[in-house]
Amino acid sequence: MIVSVCERKSFLQRPDQSKKGVMQYMVANADYCFIVTSLNEDYSFNRMARYVSVALQGGATPVVILTKSDLCSNVGRFVREAESLSEKVHVHAISAILDIGLDELDAYMTPGTTICLIGSSGVGKSTLINSICKEEIMKTSEIREDDGEGRHTTTYRKLIELPNGVTIIDTPGMREIGMANVQEGIDDTFSDILELESRCKFSNCRHDTEPGCAVKAAIESGELSVERYTLYKNLGRENSNNHARKKEVSKWAKAYKKMNKRNMSDL
Ligand SMILES: Nc1nc2c(ncn2[C@@H]2O[C@H](COP(=O)(O)OP(=O)(O)OP(=O)(O)O)[C@@H](O)[C@H]2O)c(=O)[nH]1
Ligand SMILES: [Mg+2]
Which residues have C-beta within 8 Å of that of residue 242, sequence separation ≥ 6? 15, 21, 178, 179, 180, 181
d(CA 114, CA 162): 10
Domain chopping of the chain, boundaries: 11-170, 183-262
Q: Is the CB–ligand 1 distance for residue 68 below 6 Å?
A: yes
Q: What is the pLDDT of residue 87?
A: 94
- pLDDT, one tens digit per residue, over 24-62 is 999 999 999 999 999 998 899 999 999 999 999 999 999
Does the pTM surpass 0.95? The reply is: no
CATH architecture of 11-170: 3-Layer(aba) Sandwich (3.40)
Domain 183-262 fold is Ribonucleotide Reductase Protein R1; domain 1 (1.10.40)
> Ligand 1, closest atom to CA 36?
19
Residue owning the nearest CA to atom 16 of ligand 1: 140
Percent of the chain clearing pLDDT 70 (strictly above) = 93
d(CA 181, CA 24): 11
Q: Count of alpha carbons within 13 Å of 148, Cβ hemisphere only?
A: 11
Average pLDDT value for residue range 162-170: 96
Q: Which ligand is nearest to the CA of 94?
A: 1
d(CA 158, CA 172): 9
Question: What is the identity of the amino acid at 127?
Answer: T
Q: What is the pLDDT of residue 13?
A: 95
- pLDDT, one tens digit per residue, over 77-90 is 999 999 999 999 99
- pLDDT, one tens digit per residue, over 108-134 is 999 999 999 999 999 999 999 999 999
pLDDT at 256 over 70: no
Q: What is the pLDDT of residue 6?
A: 83
pLDDT at 262 over 80: no
Pocket test for ligand 1, best of 37, 66, 133, 140 (most atoms within 8 A of CB): 140
- pLDDT-derived band at 147 (thresholds 50, 70, 90) equals confident
* Averaged pLDDT of the chain: 92
pLDDT at 248 over 70: no
> Ligand 1, closest atom to CA 140?
16
